[in-house]
Structure formats: C-alpha cells, structure tokens
Amino acid sequence: MSTEIIVVTGAYGRQRVAAAGGQQALLPVIEQSGASGVEIRRELFSAPELSQLPALSAAIKQHGLTAYYSVPEPLFTTAGTINPNLPVFFAEAGTLNARLLKFSAGYPAGNLPAEQLAEQLAASPVPVTVENDQTDGGTLAAMREFFSRFGRVQAIAGMTFDTGNWYWTGESPHQACRELSACVSYIHLKAVRKDKHGFRAVPPDPDDEHWQTLLTALPANVPRGIEFPLTGDDLVAVTRQYVDLFRRA
C-alpha cells in the first residue's frame, strides 16, 4: 500500500486561497497532483464558507480525497481548562467527514484528570490528534507530558509531528523523533530556513538528507502532509513534484 500524501491548503498561501475562491477551489489541483487527501484549515474560512461545509464535504468526496481538519485552537485554555468550543469543532469535523481533527495542546492542563478529557473528547465523531506547534505548548517537554498523561485517552489518535516547528521552540527534531516516534500518527513535512526576519518554512531540497533522516526515524505507515509554500504558475506540477517525492521517500 502506497504512503498517503496529504496537501495542506495553507501551503498555497492565504492570499492565493482567497483569490481562487476558497479552499474548495483548490481541490482539483490537489486531486490532479495525485495526493491522497487534503487538510482543510479552519483559519482560511470566511464566515459564509463556514456555513457551507456540507458542500465542501461533498466536493472533497467527489474529487476522491480524504479530509483532514485543522483547527487553530488549543485543547486547553490559559486557565488549564478544556476548550469550551470543542463541540463546535467536533460538529464541523463531522460535517466534513474528516479522518482526523487536529489541535494544539495549548496550555498546561494543571490537575485535570485524564477521565475528564476522555469524557469531553468522546463526543467527537472524529479521532483527535495534537500537534507540536511553535509555542511553549509545542515543546518537547510539553508533548512528552501530554502523551504521558493523556496518550491513552481513546479518542486521541496520536500526535501530528511537525518536522519544522522544533526550530521555533529551539529544539532538535532528531531528539523529538527519538522520544515521540511511538506517538506519531500524522507527519507535517517542511524544511526551515533562518534569515534576518527569523525562521520560515521552505520546500525541502530533494537531495537534502536531513528531512529523509527524520522520516526514517518516524513511522513509515502514517500519512505525510505537505505544509510548506507551494508556488508557481503550474500548481498541479509543483504539487505533484512533492507528492511523488514524499511517496517515494
């Protein structure tokens, strides 16, 4: 069975997504690239688009793609309580018929019992995954603590391992691979470059062994997401280049 490659709509850039008419307009590009699925980003929706999720779900199915849903919200608030908006996001993910629903961990959960989180997540029609983001909530220590405390919660399908975000938290992605590989259920692939403005995501060089080494240290049978800028006049060709590259790797 070939590796599933997922294209994150945000890889095309907020302006290009908006100019195209929204995330649904990019589905033909993703289908023609040979990708397995699409990661829909909640932050790229306009208010009217949020009310048209059934149409988007039907279009994703029509194009033969699997849906992943990314919500730019933490599971835990600054007070260490469970995000009160989770039911809204569960309903949206269910409407999209998503395979995974992705959050960040957010803030420390204090003394919150795992049973309480399990009770809340049981309402989700979609398995939940937690990503190492670029904040203090995405550090290696925070991820280690999260999966130590909550990794056995049935609704949590594991970790979205972003290969590049470790640079924003000042940590080694190789060390993170060694410690967290067993938790990983989805991989976000990106290379990172530092310039005078700080770190930024860039396309991986096909000949660069760094990202290939990371992949060999992570589970080989989990989906791989393209989450770096995809630019050019021929978006199908550009996207297909990386779909093929990551499927072979």
Torsional sign, CA 116, 97, 165, 84: negative
DSSP reduced 3-state for 211: helix
The domains located in the chain, with CATH, are: 5-248 (3.20.20.150)
Torsional sign, CA 5, 166, 160, 13: negative
When pLDDT is cut at 50, 70 and 90, the band that residue 231 belongs to is very high
When pLDDT is cut at 50, 70 and 90, the band that residue 133 belongs to is very high
Question: pLDDT by residue (tens digit) across 185-228?
Answer: 999 999 999 998 899 999 999 999 999 999 999 999 999 999 99
C-alpha pair distances (Å), 67 with each of 56, 95, 112, 214: 10, 11, 31, 25
Average pLDDT over residues 49-70: 97
How do strand 191-195 and strand 198-202 relate by DSSP bridges?
antiparallel
Number of C-beta neighbours around residue 152 at 10 A: 10
- What is the Cα–Cα distance from 85 to 94, expressed in whole angstroms? 15
Q: What is the pLDDT of residue 1?
A: 60
Q: What is the pTM (predicted TM-score) of this model?
A: 0.97
